[in-house]
Structure 1
Amino acid sequence: MTEPQTPEAKDIQTSGGNYNEQIGKHYIHAETVHIYETTCNPSDPSKNNGKVTASQKQLAFAIAGSFDEVDHAKLKVILALLQKNSGDATIEIIRVEEGSIKIILNGSDEGLERIKQLFESGEITEVLGTLIKYVDLKELDKKSCLIRDIVQNGVECQNLSNTDLQGANLSRADLSDADLKSANLSRADLSDANLSGADLSSADLSSAYLNNVNLNGADLQGANLSGADLSDSNLSNANLNRVKLSDANLSGANLNNVNLSDANLSGADLNNANLSNANLSRINLRNAIINSSTIVNSKWRLVWEVVTQGAKGRNLSGTDLSDANLSGADLSDANLSDANLSDANLSNANLSRINLRNAIINSSTIVNSKWRLVWEVVTQGAKGRNLSGTDLSDANLSGADLSDANLSDANLSDANLSNANLSRINLRNAIINSSTIVNSKWRLVWEVVTQGAKGRNLSGTDLSDANLSALT
């Protein structure tokens, strides 16, 4: 066998920093491991017209563990070792599968045979500190053939919707305008691939490696990209409506003019990302990572601050929070008077003592019925309204018109009724505690109608406009 030409080397590092590993008799250090890009030597008889003649076989080996234990950088370390020891720089990982960790290789016949011999002779007995469970050299299976065909020839005229490409190595493949609807690409390596204009709607790309990929204009509506690495990728003009990007790496990504409405980016890394002109309506940014270099509209930077850091006691009066996903946010004691909350999501938010006076809330605003009522009371008034038995605890009702209203048996504990108009209000058996903020006149009225005033000295007391009906 003619020795392959040694190509230019590239150093690597793992996601966790420097990587050191004893593999069989060899010691691997990530900063010095060389990852070889396959090149062609025209004088090599194992190549045809400048192209490597790949084997029609595949070599599979398995080690104990799970997918989560082998990241992209560690696979590169394994590949570098196998290329070096086989003397074949054309050896490539076709795909990685579950069932322990199953790694499937392709390359020249000689290279695959050499690796099989290394495993079977005991020269290489383990990888990543884990014993090799088995080695199997056989004809390329249908999935491996498809992966190799895609990498070598692209996908012109192929319908790959619903196709199983889990763990496939499609690095640098031309998948432009490909039909990959609902395809399984979880944990696939798509680094440097061209997916511009591709249809990836509802596809599973969870934990996929998409570094530096071109997704310009791609349709990813409803796709699952949770845990995926999209660092430095180009997603400009893509449709990411309802996409799952929780814990994804989007650092340095170009998201210009992207539709991210209703997308979940909780825990995503957006450091240095470009989100200019992006549609972020109802996007979930809880615990996302954003730095000063992240390009994002000031409105959405504020939304991120609110859901990630909280806004307890913050003055957000007059702020535009329309279409904002504020679910679960701490807005207690915040001032949102005159704020625009149309189409916003306030589900499970802490709205204790929030000021909602004159805020804009519409039928599409998602908010607990209790707080929608509070908003109605402080914005529209509740003159003569029947609020008997209503839970208004922790409500900020300051300045509200509650004249002639029926609040009998209502819960007003910890509520703020300062400067509210309580003329002729019915407070019989309402719950008021020491933390309820209410004028002393109306606290007295409450005591009288709820506890009675038999024998009590109320000489000189102001009980004007008080509702003392049915007093015993």
Structure 2
Amino acid sequence: MKKSSLHIPIFCYWLLVIGHWSLFSLISLPIPVFAAKGSDVAKLQETRQCNECNLQEANLMGAELQGADMSDSNLRLTNLRGAKLDGANLSRSQMFQADFSNATLGSANLEQAHLEKAIFTGATLFRANLNQANLEKAELLGANLNSASLEVANLKEANLENAELQDATLPRANLEKANLKNANLKNANLLGANLKEVNLENADLEGANLSSANLEEAKLFRTHLKGTILNNETILDSKWQFIWTVVNQPLAGQTLAGSDLSGANLQGMNLTGINLEGANLEGASLFMSNLERANLTGVNLTQSYLHYTDFTSANLVGANLQRADLRHSILLGTDLTRADLSYTNFQGANLRDSNLFAANLEQADLGNVNLLGANLGNANLRDIKINEETAIESQWLFILDLIKNGAENQDLTDANLVEANLSGINLKGARLTNANLQGADLSLANLESAHLFGANLQNANLSGANLTAANLGGANLTGANLEGVNLNQVYLCNAIMPNGIENRCN
């Protein structure tokens, strides 16, 4: 495999192909014709034999034309929506912008047919012969081309999104800039095909033969490359060469730290114990993959697809999973310390006994999630979404209510707010006597006139908080962060200050 200029033989081959189509187009430029002849339409409907007929713009919608011979005919702009054309012969016919939407053309012969901008949306072309057909800019959205033959066909800029091409043969076909997003190309033969700048996003290429194919600048985001056949003549950008190599070897326990696997399709793979520390997996698909005990420290998994993925006991410390899809994933005992989980979808996931200390869960969807035993200390729980099926400790439900509604002038005496993230909360005038706020984040909080007598504020973060006229008599502030706090109007009689020294009463 390599990324380089084409070898002379391949280059010459494509010159011949382009010349072939240019010449073919010139010698078959349609002579100006009028709309379909009524006699030709009648002949076709009566005998199904209409070779070299003029059927331009005819309305043959839903027509029963199985086995009909319309070879070398003019069917430009003809309406064949829903027509039954199984086994029909349309070889060499002019069918520019003809509409075959939802038509059936099983085993039909369209060899060397002119089908530029033709519409085959939802059509069935199972085992159809399209060898050397010109389908440039044709619309084949959702078409069934399973086992179809498209040897040396021109599909430049054709739309084949969601098309079925399993077992199709496309050797030396021109698919430059074609759209094959979500297409099924399992076991397709693309030997020597031109796939330059093709869109293969989320396409299935399992077992497909891409030997000697040109995939320069191809879009392979989440493309299934397991079992895809390449050779030394396949032209493929280095990133996707690496990803192809990765997905086609055993990975359990391997080391891929720092690797660029963004957009890779790794679904269903056994990645137990793999080391992916610092790797870039942005947008990657790991659907139903096994990542038990994997090292994913600092990994980038933003907008990745992690549906039903198993992260049991994995290390995701400092990982970025912003806007990732973790629905029904397994995160039992997973370490997500300081992970960015904002806007992440956890619907139905199991986070039991996971460590979410200081994780950012802002606007994460935690509906139907099991959070029993999870450590949410210092986690940003602002605007998270939970429902009646969310299993969560009462301590965190209490904190969620405070975050959502504030607690101005409320009585929170003896409250357990250990390691609660209450940054920016309004606690003006609140009674927090003997409350346990050890390790809590109260940065930028409004604690004006709050009663914190005897409160435990060890290692609490009070930076930028408003403590005007607050009562901290007898409070324990050992190790607390008071940066930017004005203590001039704070009552601190017998309070233990951050340096561990008790403040004397005036």
Distance 1:341 1:234 in 2: 31
- Displacement of 1:35: 8.2
Structure 1 pair 294–390 and aligned structure 2 pair: CA distance change class (3 A): closer
1:199 equivalenced with 2:295 (yes/no): yes
Q: Which amino acid aligns with 2:351?
A: L
* Residue aligned with 1:275, SS: coil
Deviations for 1:311-359, whole angstroms, at most 9, x for unmatched residues? 2333322110011111112222322222111111100112233222222
Distance change >3 Å, CA 359–CA 213, structure 1 → 2: same
Checking the alignment, whether the CA contact within 8 Å between 2:454 and 2:472 is kept in structure 1 is no
From 348, 368, 375, give the equivalent of 1:272.
368
Deviations 1:122-149 (A, max 9, x none): xxxxxxxxxxxxxxx9534443344334
Q: Secondary structure at the match of 1:139?
A: coil
The residue number in structure 2 matching 1:282 is 378
Is this contact kept in 2: 1:151–1:174, CA < 8 A?
no
Q: TM-score, normalised by structure 1?
A: 0.56
Rounded Cα–Cα distance in structure 2 between residues aligned with 1:200 and 1:325: 25
Q: Is the 8 A contact 2:437 2:456 kept in 1?
A: yes
Judging by fraction of residues, say which structure has more strand: 1
Q: Which residue matches 1:242?
A: 338
- Give the Cα separation in 1 of the matches to 2:308 and 2:389: 19
C-alpha change, 1:390 and 1:339, in structure 2 (3 Å) is closer
Q: 2:412 aligns with which of 316, 332, 336?
A: 316
1:61–1:103 Cα contact (<8 Å) kept = no
Q: Which amino acid in the other structure matches residue 346 of structure 2?
A: L
Higher RCO (CA < 8 A, seq sep 6+): 1
Find out whether 1:183 has 2:297 as its counterpart: no
After TM superposition, list the pairs within 5 Å mapping 1:384-403 onto structure 2.
Answer: 392=489
Q: Deviations over 1:213-265 (max 9, x none)?
A: 00111111111111111111001011111111111111111111111111111
Residues 357-415 of structure 1: CA deviation (Å, up to 9, x unaligned): 222222444354753983434759xxxxxxxx9653xx7x7xx989xxxxxxxxxxxxx
Match of 1:25 in 2: 139
- Give TM-score scaled by structure 2 length: 0.52
- Aligned partner of 1:362 in structure 2 is 458
Deviations 1:404-460 (A, max 9, x none): xxxxxxxxxxxxxxxxxxxxx9xxxxxxxxxxxxxxxxxxxxxxxxxxxxxxxxxxx
1:433-472 to 2 correspondence within 5 Å? Answer: none
Structure 2 CA distance for partners of 1:181 and 1:36, relative to 1, 3 Å:
farther
CA distance in 1, matches of 2:336, 2:428: 32
Q: Pick closer, same or farther for the CA change 1:89–1:309 going to 2, 3 Å.
A: farther
Q: 1:245, 1:266 within 8 Å by CA — same for their partners in 2?
A: yes
Gaps of 5+ in 2: 1-121, 123-136, 143-160, 190-196, 219-232, 477-485, 495-505
Equivalent residue, structure 2, for 1:405: none
Secondary structure, counterpart of 1:376 in structure 2 = coil
Q: 8 Å contact 2:414–2:435 — kept in the other structure?
A: yes
- CA distance in 1 between counterparts of 2:304 and 2:451 reads 44
| Distance in 1 separating the partners of 2:405 and 2:366 | 16
Q: Structure 1: which 5+ residue stretches go unaligned?
A: 1-20, 29-33, 47-54, 64-74, 92-98, 120-136, 381-388, 403-424, 426-472
Counterpart residue identity of residue 308, structure 1: K
1:339-350 matches, within 5 Å, as 339-350=435-446
* Distance in 2 separating the partners of 1:36 and 1:193: 26
Residue number in structure 2 paired with 1:329: 425
2:251 aligned with 1:163: no
C-alpha distance in 2 between matches for 1:62 and 1:307: 51
Residue identity matched to 1:318: D
Cα separation, 2, equivalents of 1:108 and 1:187: 24
CA distance in 1, matches of 2:165, 2:310: 22
Q: In the superposition, relative to structure 1, how do residues 101 and 319 fare at CA in structure 2: closer, same or farther (>3 Å)?
A: farther
Q: Once structures 1 and 2 are overlaid, which stretch shifts more, 296-305 or 148-157?
A: 148-157
> Which residue, 368, 371, 378 being the options, matches 2:467?
371
Q: How does 1:22-421 map to 2 (within 5 A)?
A: 25=139, 61=177, 78-79=181-182, 82-83=183-184, 88=186, 103=201, 106-107=205-206, 139-156=235-252, 158-368=254-464, 371=467, 374-377=470-473, 392=489
**Does the CA contact (< 8 Å) of 1:151 and 1:172 recur in 2?**
no
CA distance in 2, matches of 1:305, 1:62: 53
How much is the aligned-residue C-alpha RMSD, in angstroms? 4.6
Aligned partners of 2:341 and 2:360 also within 8 Å:
yes
Q: Deviations over 1:22-44 (max 9, x none)?
A: x973667xxxxx989999xxxx8
In structure 2, give the amino acid aligned to 1:263. Answer: A
Paired residues in the alignment total: 312
Residues 157 and 279 of structure 1: CA distance in aligned 2, closer, same or farther (over 3 Å): closer
Residue 286 of structure 1 deviates from its aligned partner by 0.8
1:454 alignment partner in structure 2: none
- Percent identity between the two aligned chains: 32
Partner Cα separation in structure 2 for residue 237 and residue 37 of structure 1: 42
